[in-house]
Structure 1
Amino acid sequence: MASLQLALLLTNLRRIDEARQAVRQATAAVDDPAINAVTALVKAKIALCDGRIDEAGNLCGTGMLVASDPRYASWAPIGNMVRAITAMRRGELATMIHHANQLKEDVLFGRDPFPWASPAWLVVQIIEAEKGWEVAVPLARALLESEASTRGFLLSEPTAASFVVRILLRAGDRETAQRVRRCAAALAAENPDIHAIEAAALHLDALLEKDVNLLQQAVASGCDTWTRASVNEDIGDLLSESSEEFRQVCTHYETAMRSYADAGSPRDSSRVRSKLRRHDTSKAAARFWPSSRIPALTDTEYAVAELVAGGLTNAEVAGKMFLSRHTVAFHLRKIFQKVGAKSRIELAVMWKQLVGRESLDISCHF
C-alpha cells in the first residue's frame, strides 16, 4: 500500500511518470481484488490529471468496490473526488452535487485518507460552482485558517491555489490571499524539485501583482493541460482590462478554450466562450462546444440536451452555458422535435439510449 500512497502524492504534485512507476511496483507485489480496486482509484486520479475523463470515470467504477471493504474504505474519497471533479468540469450539476455530498461526509467523519489528500479544497470549489463565489469565500478562509492547513491544501492540489486566491481577491480579502502566497513561496523554496509547487507559487505572484509577464512564465511552467488553460484565461482577463490588447486577448482566450476542451472540461470552455463573445469572436469560439454524439443535433443542442437530461432547469442550463433562458428554451423545443420527446422527463429517460446508439434514424421527426 505504501507504493500506492506514494503514487497518489506524486500524482497530486503532477509527477505523473513517477506515479505510474509507483503503481507498477504496487501491482507487481500482490494480486488481491481489494488492492487492485485501490490501484484503480489511483489510476483514475492519474487519468484525470492527463485529461482522460472517460477513462477516469471507468476506473472509478472499478475502484469504488473498496467502499464496501472496511480495510480500504478510507480510499473511497479518492473516487468521490475524481467523480466530483469530472462532473463539475462537464457541467453535470446534479451529479456534481451528489458526489459533493459524499465528499462532505468524508470530511465530516474524518475519512480523509491522508493529510495531503483531503477533499476539503474541492468542497469549496463545488460550493462556488453551485452557489456562487460569495458563499464559497468563508469556506476558503476556514480552509486556510492556519499555516498547517494551508500547506496541506497546497500539497493536496497545488493547481487549486489560484482558484482560492481569485475568489479571495474578488471578495477584497487581500490579506488572506497574501498569506496563501507566502506559504506557497516557502513551500516552493523548501522543495525546489517539486515543479507543481513552484508553478503554483508563480501563478499566485502573478495574480496578486497583476503581472502579465509572470503569468506568461506560469504558462510555460504549467504542469498539465487544465492548469495551462487556467493561466491563459487569467492572461486574457488581465489583458482585457486594456482596450489596446484585443488580438492578444482573443489569442489567449482561444488557447484557454482549446486546452479546457482537451482536458475534458466543457464547463470551463463555455465560460471562456462567453468572454470571447464579448470580444466579438463568437464564430471562433463556436467550435469549442463538445461534439454532438447524435447526428441530428447540433453541438449546442447536444450540450443543452445533456444538461437537461441531467436534471438541470432552463435557468441552470443558461447559467452553465452562458446563454439566455429564451435561447435555452428555443434549443429545447428543437431538441424535443428532433428526438421525438414530449417532455423533459421523457428526454431524461431516453437520453442514455440515444447517446449509446452509434447512429440515430429520426428523420421522421423533422
Structure 2
Amino acid sequence: MAKTWHAALLVRVRRLASAARVLAEVEELTAARAEAGGPLHVASLLCAADLAFAGGDVGTAVDLAGRGADRAQRAGLHGFLPDAHTVTVLGALRQGDMSVSAEFADQLRDCALLGRTAHGPSQCAWVAAQLLEVQGGPARAAQLVVGIVTDDRLLLELLTSQPTAAAWLVRATRKLDDEVLARRVVSKSRALAVRNPGLRSVGAAATHAAGLLEGDAHEVLAAAASHLDPWAAASAGEDAGKLFAARPAERRCAVEAFESAADGYANAAAPRDARRVVSRLRSLGVRRGRYPQYAGQYGVNTGTLTNTEAAVAELVSQGFTNSQVGDRLFISGHTVAFHLKKIFRKMDVASRVELTRAWSRVPSAAPEDAKAS
C-alpha cells in the first residue's frame, strides 16, 4: 500500500511520469498476489483514475473511478468511496454532465464533515462546494468555502493536492464579497510555494491566485505557461483573458488568451468550460467553429436534436428554468425558449413535464453522428 500512496503523492504534485512508473509496480504486485477487489487493487484503481484525470484523460479517469467504486462497494471498503466519487463528480463538471450534481453534492459534503474518506476531507468539501455553486450560485456553497479557507489543515491539504483550488477559492470568496478570505488563500498559497520551491505545480497555483487577486493579467498568463495541469493552464488563460478584456487597449491580448484557453479546455475534455470561453470570444467579435459537445443523455431517440438542443433538454428535465439553463449554457433565456420549442416538436412532447418523462427513457450514449449546434 505504501507504493500506492507514493504514486498518489506524485500525482498530487503533477509528477505524472514518475507516478505512472510507481503505479505500474503496484499493478504488478496486485496481479502477483491475486488481490483483485482487495484494498490494494481498489487503491491502485483510484490512483490510476487520479493520474488519468491529472493528465486530461477525463473519460478514462471516470471509468477507472467507477470500477474502483464498484469494487470498494462489493468489498465493504467504504472509506474509498468518497475518493472515487470526487473523480466522478469532477469529471461530470468538466464534461458538462449536470445530472450527477444532485446525487453527490450532499453525500460529499457529509463525507467531508464526518471524515469518511481515505485521503482527507478537503477534496470532498471542495468538490461539494463546486457542485453546490453550479446548482444554486455562490450563496449555496458559502458555508463550505468559508469552512475550507478558515481551517489551516483543510486549506493546506487542498492547496497541496489540487493545483486549480487556489484560484477557484479566490474567485469563490470574491463572489461572497469577502476580500479578507481571498487574501488568506493567496497568503497561504504563496507560503506553501516558498516552502516547496521544487514543486512547480504549487508555484504555478500560487502565481495564478496572486495574479487573480491583484488583477495582474501578465502574472496570470505566466501561471498559465507554468501550470503542469492542462485544465489549470486553460483556467489561467481564461482568467488572463478576462483581465485583458477589461481594458479596451488590450483586446488582442484578451483574444489570444481566450483562444488558448478554449483549445486547452477542449484538449482537457472540458466542453462546458470551452463553451464559456467561446461565448467570451463571441462578445469580442471573434467567432469559432462548432461548440464542443456536452456529455449527457443524447441518444438514439433524439438523433435529430443538435448538441445545444440536447443540452437544453437535459437541463430542463432536471427542473431548471429557462434563465438557469441559459446561465449554464452561456446563452440567453430567449434562446433557450427558442430551442425548447424545437425540442418539443422534434420529440413530439407538449410540455416540460412530458419532456422530463421522455428524457428519462433516453439512453446515455451519444450518437457518433450527433449534429453540430
Provide the TM-score with structure 1 as the length reference. 0.87
Find the residue that maps to 1:252 and give its secondary structure: helix
Report the CA distance shift for 1:26/1:116 in structure 2 as closer, same or farther (over 3 A): farther
Q: Report how many residues are paired.
A: 356
Corresponding residue number in structure 1 for 2:338: 330
**% same residue:** 32
CA deviation after TM superposition for structure 1 residue 306, in Å: 4.2
1:66 aligns with 2:66: no
CA deviation after TM superposition for structure 1 residue 117, in Å: 6.3
Q: Aligned equivalents of 2:250 and 2:323: distance in 1?
A: 33
1:76 aligns with 2:81: yes
1:26 aligns with 2:26: yes
1:288 aligns with 2:291: yes
1:277 aligns with 2:282: yes
Find the residue that maps to 1:351 and give its secondary structure: coil
Q: Aligned equivalents of 1:348 and 1:197: distance in 2?
A: 43
Match of 1:171 among 149, 169, 176: 176
1:162 aligns with 2:167: yes
Find the residue that maps to 1:287 and give its secondary structure: coil
- Asked if the contact 1:91/1:307 (under 8 Å) is kept, the reply is no
Instruction: Summarize deviations over 1:279-304 as a string: whole Å, max 9, x none.
Output: 233x32x5233178876433322433
Report the CA distance shift for 1:5/1:313 in structure 2 as closer, same or farther (over 3 A): farther
CA deviation after TM superposition for structure 1 residue 80, in Å: 0.5
Q: Aligned equivalents of 2:266 and 2:80: distance in 1?
A: 29
Match of 1:352 among 363, 366, 371: 363
Structure 1 residues 28-37 or 14-23, which shifts more? 28-37
Paired AA for residue 72 in structure 2? V
Corresponding residue number in structure 2 for 1:153: 158
Instruction: Summarize deviations over 1:168-189 as a string: whole Å, max 9, x none.
Output: 2343422222222222222112
Q: Aligned equivalents of 1:13 and 1:311: distance in 2?
A: 39
- Asked if the contact 2:238/2:257 (under 8 Å) is kept, the reply is yes
- Computed over aligned residues only, the root mean square deviation of the Cα atoms, in angstroms, reads 2.6
- Gapped regions of structure 1 (runs ≥ 5): 361-366
- Asked if the contact 1:336/1:347 (under 8 Å) is kept, the reply is no
- Gapped regions of structure 2 (runs ≥ 5): none
Q: Aligned equivalents of 2:222 and 2:139: distance in 1?
A: 30
Paired AA for residue 23 in structure 1? L
Q: Aligned equivalents of 2:149 and 2:84: distance in 1?
A: 24
Corresponding residue number in structure 2 for 1:12: 12
Instruction: Summarize deviations over 1:61-86 as a string: whole Å, max 9, x none.
Output: 2111203423x321111110011112
- Asked if the contact 1:261/1:290 (under 8 Å) is kept, the reply is no
CA deviation after TM superposition for structure 1 residue 356, in Å: 5.3
- Asked if the contact 2:312/2:325 (under 8 Å) is kept, the reply is yes
Corresponding residue number in structure 2 for 1:250: 255
Paired AA for residue 352 in structure 1? P
CA deviation after TM superposition for structure 1 residue 231, in Å: 0.6
Q: Aligned equivalents of 2:192 and 2:107: distance in 1?
A: 30
Report the CA distance shift for 1:356/1:246 in structure 2 as closer, same or farther (over 3 A): closer
- Asked if the contact 1:218/1:231 (under 8 Å) is kept, the reply is yes
Q: Aligned equivalents of 2:165 and 2:360: distance in 1?
A: 36
Q: Aligned equivalents of 1:122 and 1:226: distance in 2?
A: 15
Match of 2:244 among 214, 221, 239: 239
Instruction: Summarize deviations over 1:252-277 as a string: whole Å, max 9, x none.
Output: 12221221122122222232233223
Match of 1:297 among 295, 305, 316: 305
Q: Aligned equivalents of 1:96 and 1:38: distance in 2?
A: 24
Report the CA distance shift for 1:73/1:232 in structure 2 as closer, same or farther (over 3 A): same
Q: Aligned equivalents of 2:35 and 2:113: distance in 1?
A: 30
Report the CA distance shift for 1:217/1:141 in structure 2 as closer, same or farther (over 3 A): same
Instruction: Summarize deviations over 1:141-170 as a string: whole Å, max 9, x none.
Output: 221224333211212313211010122234
Q: Aligned equivalents of 1:358 and 1:233: distance in 2?
A: 29
- Asked if the contact 1:77/1:119 (under 8 Å) is kept, the reply is yes
Provide the TM-score with structure 2 as the length reference. 0.86
Instruction: Summarize deviations over 1:180-214 as a string: whole Å, max 9, x none.
Output: 22222221122222111111111122112221221
